Structure formats: C-alpha cells, structure tokens
Amino acid sequence: MNETTLQYKTLMLLLVLVTIAFIWIMLPFYGAVFWAVILGIIFAPLQRRLLAKFGWKRNITSLCTLTICLIIAILPVIIISALMVQEGATLYKSVESGQLDVAKYLAEFKVLLPAPIQHLLDRMGMGDFEGLRDKIAKGAMQGSQYLATQAFSFGQGTFDFVVSFFIMLYLLFFFLRDGQDLVRRIRIAFPLAEPQKRRLQLKFTRVVRATVKGNVVVAITQGALGGLIFWILDIPSALLWAVLMAFLSLLPAVGAGIVWAPVAAYFLLSGMIWQGVVLSLFGVFVIGLVDNVLRPILVGKDTRMPDYLILISTLGGMAVFGLNGFVIGPMIAALFMSTWGLFTGAKQTVKLPG
C-alpha cells in the first residue's frame, strides 16, 4: 500500500467519523433541520422570483420569503394546534361528565340496524355497551390526566418548542439565502458524473415538492372541507374531526371516508334524512374528488407512487420518525424509486459488470 492510498483511506475514515459525529449532535434538533430543508426547497422558487423581479439584496429577499413562509405555512399550524388542544380538553370534560355519552349513541345506532346484524353483534360480544361506557369514562379520565400532566410540564415543553422553532427559522433563512451555493458544493463533492448529479438533484427537489404538496396539501384540503361540513351540520368537536380526517387522508387505503361515512349512516338511520343526504353527497362529490382533482395537478405523473407504497411508507415513517414520518416516509420511498430509476437508466446506457 503506497502512501497516497494510505492518506486517501485515512481521509475517508476521518470523513466518515466526523460525519457520524455531526449527525449525532444534530439528532436532538433533527425535526427543526428537516423542516428547514423541506421549507427551503419548497419556497426556493419564490425566493428566486422575488430576487429576479425586485433586484433586492439576498438578505432582504430571504427575509421577505421567510416572512411569507411564516404567514402561509407555519403560523396556521401553530394556531390550529392550539385550538385543537383546547377543543380536545373540552371534549374530554364532556365525555367524563357524561354530557357526551358515546355509548348511548352506539346503543341507539345498534337498534336501528337490521335484526340479523344485531344478533351477529350479540354473538360476537359487541352488543353490550355498558362495559364500553365504563371504558370510555376511564379513557376520558386518563385523557384528562394526560392533559393535566402536559400542562404541569408545559414550561419545559414550551422551551424545547421555542428553541427548535427558532433554530428552524434561523436555518431556513440561510437555506433560502445560500441554498444555491450549498447545492453547488454538494454536487461538487458527490462522486457521480455531472449528468447523473443534475438528474438526481432535479429528481430530489421534484420529489420533495411533490410529496409535500401532493400529500400534505390534499390532506389539509380534505380535512378542512370535512371540518366545514361538520361545523355546518352542528356536529360536536368539528376541528378535531377535521384534523383526524386530514391525517387519515394521508393513508390511501383508509381516507377521510372512515370518519364522515359512519356519521352520515347514523343520520340516515336515525331519521335525520337531510343531514345524512347532505353529508353523503358532500363527502362523495366534494371531499372524495379532491384527491382525484388536486393530486395530479400538484404531483404530476412522473412522481406519482402506487397507493400501497404510500400507505406502507407513511405508516413505516411514522413508526420510525414519529409525526414527522408522514412526510419523511413517502419522501424516502419516492427517492428510492427515483434512484433505482436512475440506476436502471444508467445500466441501459452504459453496460455495467454483471
């Protein structure tokens, strides 16, 4: 082994160790770094348009883009989260006090079902709702205790949130300002041919934007529409149901219909015909069509993934990365498919060994 090879291997070992150490110290704030990168990629075109149109300095342009991002993407999430926590506490109190008796509604719904289905539920041990009432009351008590525990440790949680939030904003500002330089340095260091690096960069940015816009925007739209019709029909805790429908909209095999369809069926079977008809028509022709109309526009054909892959990657991402996984999972799956597509194309262009 000559001296040049030894130096190269030593440098590579040092590079790997330093990279692992850097990732290790960044792990406590990986969510802030991740969302700063994602928002930087999404709002980079706006940054370039403002820079080209007004000719401002990069610091001023980045600050304006950051302000727009804060108003459009960040503040609504914070406000909705705060309102959801407040409404969740109110729902827990209603269930715990007996003002909202879910078991009673289920018992009434069972009576409206055909006799064979009632007998089937009884044989399966699902016909007695007394035990269910106790479980719901116990669950409501545990939920109240959980909220109280969170309120007790609110100071520490708030401090961590504030630190992560400002780290995200700080990094986002520099990603917007120096993003092109950072991408250029990464491309120089990446050991691939220039056409492959250009295609991989294009695929990466396209997949990130398509994943966030195609999944998140469609889910938010379906959740907002579902919450709106629930509010119009005076269904309790419409905001909570809206958030639940938005979350379930991320899962193609489930969708928002698992929330609004049982409510519509209850309305129809209990004699509230116009409420059931309105909710059914709105769910099928408005909420249900959002995915078919918006997703092709926001995602496009080249980055569209099969529904089963979106389902598995979303669930797997959330199991590994928590709440951030609903974006990380599909993004990794889409990048996996794109990278293999590049490899297949390169193998067809250049005959590789094996």
Q: 41 with 72, same domain?
A: yes
Q: 149 with 217, same domain?
A: no
Q: 120 with 226, same domain?
A: no
Q: Tell me whether residue 333 is in a domain.
A: yes
Which residue range forms the structural domain that includes residue 206? Answer: 193-346
Q: Tell me whether residue 235 is in a domain.
A: yes
Q: 199 with 323, same domain?
A: yes
Whether the full predicted model's pTM is greater than 0.85, yes or no, is no
The residue from 189, 211, 234 where one domain ends is 189
Q: At what angle do helices 325-349 and 194-211 cross, to 10 degrees?
A: 150
The per-residue DSSP string of 186-211 comes to HHHHS-S-HHHHHHHHHHHHHHHHHH
Q: 301 with 331, same domain?
A: yes
pLDDT in tens, the chain (354 residues): 566 777 778 888 888 898 899 888 888 888 888 889 888 888 888 888 888 887 778 888 889 999 998 998 888 877 877 777 777 667 666 666 666 666 666 666 666 666 777 666 666 655 555 555 556 555 555 554 554 444 444 444 566 778 888 899 999 999 988 888 888 887 787 777 777 777 777 777 777 777 777 778 888 888 899 999 999 998 877 888 888 888 888 776 667 888 888 888 888 877 788 888 999 999 988 888 887 777 777 765 555 667 778 778 888 888 888 777 877 887 888 778 777 777 776 555 555 444
Strand positions, DSSP E, the chain: none
Can you give the pLDDT at residue 336?
Answer: 84
Q: 179 CB contacts (<8 Å, ≥6 apart)? A: 40, 41, 44, 47
Q: 118 with 252, same domain?
A: no
Q: 158 with 234, same domain?
A: no
Smallest CA-to-CA distance from 342 within 220, 196, 153, 195 is with: 196
Q: Tell me whether residue 110 is in a domain.
A: yes
Q: 167 with 201, same domain?
A: no
Can you give the pLDDT at residue 304?
Answer: 63
8-state DSSP, 74: I
Q: 154 with 199, same domain?
A: no
